[in-house]
């Protein structure tokens, strides 16, 4: 069954919804509200919901192999124990840059957590992309980033895709799963200005990218090999932020959005801004990579 008509989920709209993640064991969708400073959890099967207040900006969540989550907060990387709702600090590579905050993040196929930063104000290239390794050490992998977004690795783990939103590009790197190194950066898709800004991204089982468009009211399926636009899911909100596959067979696409920055007038036109949407796009996703702990 293919149903590209997105439905809105009955959840509280976020100021800046981001970072959707499907937890297959508990069949839950998790996402963050960066400006609402909280984590949302939803069991779509039962409708059960939970909100975890974090107390500072939180921008990305990944599962750890022991059942905890690893999060990127404004003050760095943390473990989060969902039972105790306790945070355990890991590292902060930008303690000397109070004008920046973390943004999007994902694990690579070998279990390292990659997350990047952006300035709180403006779009100067003062952010970086970092890699948190299994031993808790952090390495700067890219610098001069404006708004770090959209990470994905292809199914054979030979390529990493990355979006620095204001470049209006999707870039590909050669990726080495053994060492975690990246190289040979090149643009694979250039986004025309009328499409909005490329934001969060995920990849499907066929190696095609699903990119959310901030200011573009859609998620699009793009072929990173040819640059071709294959499919588009239109949404009734302009600021579409990110997406992930979920559901029992990873056949559903969950999509986050934002209301922050919209005027009263714009909010009247798009009352669902900040909501989470779901559609059945007709292709399956890949399970989220998990953060591996040191043996």
Ligand X SMILES: O=C(O)[C@H](O)[C@@H](O)[C@H](O)[C@H](O)CO
Residue where the block lists tokens 């008509």: 5
Map residues 47-86 to x or -, x wherever contact with ligand X holds by CB under 6 A. Answer: ----------------------------------------
Binder of ligand X out of 79, 102, 161, 214 (CB under 6 A): 214
Map residues 121-160 to x or -, x wherever contact with ligand X holds by CB under 6 A. Answer: --------------------------x-x-----------
> Binding to Zn ion by residue 200, rule CB under 5 A?
yes
Q: How far apart are CA 91 and CA 260, in angstroms?
A: 29
Residue 151, both tokens: 């990470």
Q: Which residues contact 14 (CB under 8 A, 6 or more apart)?
A: 31, 32, 33, 35, 36, 40, 256, 257, 258, 259, 274, 275, 276
| Smallest separation (angstroms) from ligand X to the CB of 34 | 6
| Smallest separation (angstroms) from ligand X to the CB of 7 | 22
Q: How far is CA 140 from CA 8, 137, 195, 209, in A?
A: 38, 10, 31, 25
Nearer to Zn ion, 17 or 281 (CB): 17
> Binding to ligand X by residue 108, rule CB under 6 A?
no
Nearer to ligand X, 68 or 210 (CB): 210
Residue 171, both tokens: 């870039």
Binder of Zn ion out of 117, 149, 217, 257 (CB under 5 A): 149
* 69-73 and 159-164 beta bridge pairing: unpaired
Q: How far apart are CA 242 and CA 104, in angstroms?
A: 9
- Give the chain's length: 295
Total residues at the site for ligand X (CB under 6 A)? 12
| Smallest separation (angstroms) from Zn ion to the CB of 199 | 4
Binder of Zn ion out of 94, 104, 204, 270 (CB under 5 A): 104
Residue 18, both tokens: 């981001």
Nearer to ligand X, 147 or 151 (CB): 147
Binder of ligand X out of 104, 171, 204, 270 (CB under 6 A): 104
Residue 182 forms beta bridges with which residues? 175
Q: Which residues contact 257 (CB under 8 A, 6 or more apart)?
A: 14, 17, 235, 237, 239, 240, 241, 272, 273, 274, 275, 276, 277
* Residue 197 contact partner, candidates Zn ion, ligand X, none, CB within 5 to 8 A by sort of partner: ligand X
Binder of ligand X out of 74, 100, 165, 257 (CB under 6 A): 165
Residue 275 has phi, psi (to 5 degrees) of -80, 170
* Interface residue list for Zn ion (CB under 5 A): 104, 149, 199-200
Contact residues toward ligand X (CB under 6 A) are: 16, 18, 34, 103-104, 147, 149, 165, 197, 199, 214, 241
């Amino acid at each position: 069954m293919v149903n590209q008509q997105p439905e809105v989920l009955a959840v509280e709209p976020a100021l800046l919804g981001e970072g959707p993640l499907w937890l297959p064991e508990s069949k839950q969708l998790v996402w963050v509200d960066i400006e609402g400073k909280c984590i949302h959890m939803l069991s779509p099967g039962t409708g059960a919901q939970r909100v975890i207040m974090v107390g500072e900006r939180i921008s990305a969540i990944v599962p750890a192999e022991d059942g905890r989550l690893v999060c990127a907060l404004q003050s760095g990387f943390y473990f989060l124990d969902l039972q105790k709702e306790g945070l355990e600090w890991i590292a902060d590579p930008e303690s000397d840059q109070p004008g920046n905050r973390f943004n999007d993040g994902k694990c690579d196929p070998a279990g390292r957590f990659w997350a990047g930063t952006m300035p709180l104000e403006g779009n100067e290239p003062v952010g970086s992309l970092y890699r948190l390794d299994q031993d808790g050490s952090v390495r700067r992998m890219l610098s001069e980033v404006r708004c770090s977004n959209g990470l994905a690795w292809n199914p054979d783990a030979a390529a990493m895709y990355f979006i620095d939103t204001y470049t209006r590009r999707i870039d590909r790197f050669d990726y080495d799963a053994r060492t975690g190194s990246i190289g040979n950066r090149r643009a694979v898709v250039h986004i025309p200005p009328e499409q909005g800004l490329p934001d969060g991204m995920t990849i499907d089982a066929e190696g095609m990218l699903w990119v959310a468009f901030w200011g573009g009211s859609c998620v699009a399926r793009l072929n990173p090999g040819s640059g071709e636009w294959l499919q588009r899911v239109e949404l009734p909100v302009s600021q579409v932020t990110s997406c992930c596959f979920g559901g029992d067979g990873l056949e559903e696409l969950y999509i986050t959005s934002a209301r922050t920055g919209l005027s009263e007038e714009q909010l009247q036109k798009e009352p669902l801004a900040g909501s989470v949407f779901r559609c059945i796009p007709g292709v399956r996703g890949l399970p989220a990579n998990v953060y591996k702990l040191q043996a």
